[in-house]
Structures are given as C-alpha cells and as structure tokens.
Amino acid sequence: MADKTATLTFGDKSIELPIYSPTAGPDVIDISKLYGQGDVFTYDPGFTSTAACDSTITFIDGDKGELLHRGYPIDQLADSSHYLEVCYLLLYGELPSAAELEDFESRVTNHTMIHEQMMNLFRGFRRDAHPMAIMNGVVGAMSAFYHDSTDITDPWQREVASIRMIAKMPTIAAAAYKYTIGQPIVYPRNDLDYASNFLRMCFSVPCEDYQVNPILSRAMDRIFTLHADHEQNASTSTVRLASSSGANPFACIAAGIACLWGPAHGGANQACLEMLKEIGTVDRIPEFIARAKDKNDSYRLMGFGHRVYKNFDPRATVMKQSADEVLELLGVEDNPILQVAMELEKQALADPYFAEKKLFPNVDFYSGIILEAMGFPTSMFTPIFAVSRTVGWISQWKEMIGDPKMKIGRPRQLYKGATLRDYVDIEKR
Ligand code: SDX
C-alpha cells in the first residue's frame, strides 16, 4: 500500500496521489483516481514512464544492464540452468526440486504433439508464406481444437493451456518451417530434451537418421533461455491487454506473436541479419553508420538500442559467447557476416552518436548470427523468438488473470480531432 504521496497542483486543484515503493526499481505514482478527482488524463505515448501493472516475474535495471527472473540474474540462469527449468521458475516463482522438475518436464514432453487435424491448417498456406504468418494462424486456431482449456476462470484449465502452449510451440514453429521448404513435417520425440527435439523437428529428414549435436542443442537451449521473458515489452503488453477482455489464451498468444513480428521488436533479429548481409563487407560500414546517424534518414541499425537498457543488454553479452562457441564448432569463425557484425559493433560503439544516445547491441544482434550458422533461414529467427517468449507471455497472462484487481485495459486519449458539427447533405458539400 502507499507509504508516501505526491501532490499534483494545477489550476485551482491540488490532488494527493499515493506513491508505492517496489522491491526494486523506481517508485510509482498511482494516478488511477486522477481523472475522477481532477478531470484530467496523463499523457504518455509509448508508455515510456508508465507502469501498466504490478508484477513479480521479471525485473530489468536498464542502467546496470541487469535482468532478473524471479530474482535470479540471467547470466547465472544461462550458465547453470536450462530453458524448461527457467520456464518452471517463471511460471511458479521458485526453482524446482529435482522431483518437481522431472514432473514438469514430463508434462511438457507429453503435450508436444498437436491435434492431427491441425496438420491440415499448414497446407492451407502458400509455400512461400512467412513462418510467422503460419504460426500466427495456427496458434490462434488452437482455440478451435482445445476447448477444454479455454475457460480462463478455471485455474486447472489455465494450467493445462499453459503447458500446452509451451509444449506445442516448437512443434508448430518447426512444422511451419518444414512446410515452407517443402519437406515433410516431423513429429516430436519424447526421448529428446526440448531444444534437441526442436532441432530434430527442423532439420531431420525421413531418408536418414538425425543426430543432435550437443553443442548446438546447448546453444539452442541458451537462445530459448535468453529470450524467455522481459517485463512489459510490446508483445507481452499485447498479450496482457488482449487477455484483460477475457479472451482465450490461444487467441491472446496469437496476438503476442503478431506484435513480436514487427522489426522494432522481435523481428529485429531477422532485420539485423538482412542488414549485415546488405552491408556485405567491412568497408561499407561507415556508409550505414552515417545513414543511422542522419536525422533526415529514418534508417536504424537493427540489433542496436533498447527502450530500457541504457548501458548494455546482458543477454547480448551471453549471446556473444554462444556465437563464438557455435561458430568455432562449425568452423566458420571467419564467417564474413560475423566479421561485419564485429566491426560494426566496434565502429558504432566508438562513435559519439551511439554513446550519447546509449545505443549498443541488444539481444537480437548476435542471436541471428548463431541461428544462421546453425542453418536456420532468417525467416525462422522471429518464430524461434516466439517459441521462447511463449513462457513469458503465459507467465504474465497467468499473473494478470489470477489478480483479483484485474480489469479490462482501456486507455484514454488526447483528442485533437473535429469538435461537434452537423452532418452536411452531399448536394450541399
Ligand atoms: C527487442 O522491450 C523489450 O524488452 C524488447 C525486447 C524483448 O526482449 O522483448 O528486448 C526485444 O525488441 C529488442 C529491440 C530490437 N529492436 C531493434 O533492434 C530495432 C532497432 N532499434 C530501435 O528501433 C530502437 O532502439 C528501439 C525500438 C529498440 C527502442 O526505441 P525507443 O526506446 O523508442 O528509442 P527512440 O526510438 O526514442 O530512439 C531514441 C533515439 C532517437 O534519436 P532522436 O530522435 O532522439 O534524435 O535514438 C535513436 C533514435 O533515432 N535510435 C537509433 C536506434 N535506436 C534508436 N538510431 C540508430 N539506430 C538505432 N537502432
């Protein structure tokens, strides 16, 4: 509850607003009564200074470059944990015991298949459809197949929907990929871990056995872990807002997928690789840095900058280590794309423009390099981000739905349109 207050004085009004103190981060001023008491709205397009909810799941300190999931720092989780254990932590709030983890992994593993009739959905898309378009459609369609886990007022159905989403996203993403390259869809295997299962569903073909490379599956698992959740980012806020109307979880996750697809958000990893390929050679880097700095050019360096991190993105640091390991394993250390990426990072970070605006590589800068080296096309980069972020969306969704204070989200506006005027018949216009 409030332990301090802020006084807002304007015109002949003076309004006391409660201030709440968090366990970490800035205090918040509760303005929920402002309109009722002062007949004014606050104005914050892009929500740069607005907390939309209280949460206990993830905390970011943008100045320190710190990312905590239920208090545990992301670099420790990336080094010592693995994706499904992080999923448990995000969903239930504590690290699991060995027995709890075994039960959770078993529940996820045994939900990885999708309803057989859903396989028909893939065939309705053109082969050149973007995998994100297919995922968006198929995930939304899940509400037509899993009616027994769409009643969000039933905690058991919320739990089943959560497990189903986390378990089936890799199967759907891999099936979307296989469909677009004209290869048969591969079913999940229960004897493989989450990341290995995904790699096999993407890269195995019926004509030969597929052996998962443990270094690649470890790198895949680390990419899943690094993208799992990130406070109230655009796609998570989309899932929360969609869910606040009581819509079913599958439809709300589909809304999150749609938002993530944008190049300013989860689509940045694909856009970053395409930018590196467009730059092509190290000698063209100054041309692109000049464009990014040019106020009259809307061009931005993809994979650089972040709304919250103003020092460095701790995920990028871990991702860069993985990039070195994977490229060394694959013998592509002299990958021309990586050479351009490393030189671009060096030149950008030495440039005052980027230092002043606190722009540096974010999580998307290195993830694309690893994924390309692993054999994924750029069109699969954002689907992989969506697979990983599903647990974040679901965890935030469960937190919101389970909050008795929850109400439908309905922002107001600063109206600048026409004021009242009478209709004019066409012959008088
Ligand atoms: C993700 O929110 C999350 O947590 C997201 C995410 C997650 O895990 O969910 O971390 C994942 O989305 C990472 C970000 C991926 N996007 C990109 O890499 C796309 C390129 N970056 C941007 O477009 C931009 O940096 C944003 C969208 C990430 C952040 O934008 P902001 O906070 O709204 O900052 P801004 O647009 O107000 O920019 C501030 C200034 C501007 O210059 P001025 O108008 O003040 O002169 O910095 C400039 C911008 O022009 N700027 C850039 C730049 N990003 C910002 N200039 C060149 N290149 C860039 N990449």
| DSSP state string for 93-104 | SSPPPHHHHHHH
Ligand 1: which atom is nearest the Cα of residue 300? 58
DSSP designation for 231? S
Cβ atoms of residues 323 and 369 within 8 Å: yes
pLDDT at 137: 97
Closest to 59 (Cα-Cα) out of 20, 21, 22, 96: 22
The whole-number average pLDDT for the span 103-108 is: 98
The yes-or-no verdict on residue 337 having pLDDT over 90 is no
DSSP designation for 236? H
Give the residue whose CA is nearest to atom 5 of ligand 1.
233
The whole-number average pLDDT for the span 212-222 is: 94
Cα–Cα distance list, 362 to 266, 306, 310, 342, 383 (Å): 11, 7, 10, 13, 18
The whole-angstrom separation of Cα 17 and Cα 8 is 7
Active site residues: 306, 364
Q: If pLDDT is split at 50, 70 and 90, which confidence band does 391 have?
A: very high
pLDDT at 171: 98
pLDDT at 265: 93
> Within 10 A of 346 (CB to CB), how many other CB atoms are there?
12
The whole-angstrom separation of Cα 165 and Cα 387 is 9
Choosing from 269, 307, 393 the residue with most ligand 1 atoms within 8 A of its CB, the one to mutate for a pocket test is 307
The yes-or-no verdict on residue 2 having pLDDT over 80 is no
The yes-or-no verdict on residue 414 having pLDDT over 90 is yes
Q: If pLDDT is split at 50, 70 and 90, which confidence band does 1 have?
A: low
Tokens found for residue 137:
């459609």
3-state DSSP helix/strand/coil percent for the chain, to nearest 5?
55, 5, 40
Q: If pLDDT is split at 50, 70 and 90, which confidence band does 331 have?
A: confident
Q: For residue range 222-261, list pLDDT tens digits in order.
A: 999 999 999 999 999 999 999 999 999 999 999 999 999 9
Q: If pLDDT is split at 50, 70 and 90, which confidence band does 369 have?
A: confident
Q: Which residue has the higher pLDDT, 345 or 102?
A: 102
Q: For residue range 45-94, list pLDDT tens digits in order.
A: 999 999 999 999 999 999 999 999 999 999 999 999 999 999 999 999 99
Task: Tell me phi and psi for residue 244, to 5 degrees.
Answer: -65, -15
The whole-number average pLDDT for the span 357-380 is: 90
Which amino acid is present at 37? Q
pLDDT at 330: 84
Helix, strand or coil, per DSSP, at residue 380: helix
pLDDT at 109: 98
Helix, strand or coil, per DSSP, at residue 60: strand
Q: For residue range 311-330, list pLDDT tens digits in order.
A: 889 999 899 888 888 888 88
Q: For residue range 154-190, list pLDDT tens digits in order.
A: 999 999 999 999 999 999 999 999 999 999 999 999 9
The yes-or-no verdict on residue 420 having pLDDT over 90 is yes
Which residues surround ligand 1 with Cβ inside 6 Å? 230, 233, 264-266, 268, 292, 300-308, 357, 359, 362-364
Residues 6+ away with beta carbon under 8 Å from 319:
222, 223, 226, 363, 365, 366, 367, 370
Give the residue whose CA is nearest to atom 33 of ligand 1.
307
pLDDT at 149: 85
Burial class (CB in 10 A: 0-12, 13-18, 19+), 30: middle
358 CA to centre of ligand 1 in angstroms: 10
Give the residue whose CA is nearest to atom 3 of ligand 1.
233
Q: If pLDDT is split at 50, 70 and 90, which confidence band does 418 have?
A: very high
Sign of CA dihedral 259, 349, 375, 223: negative
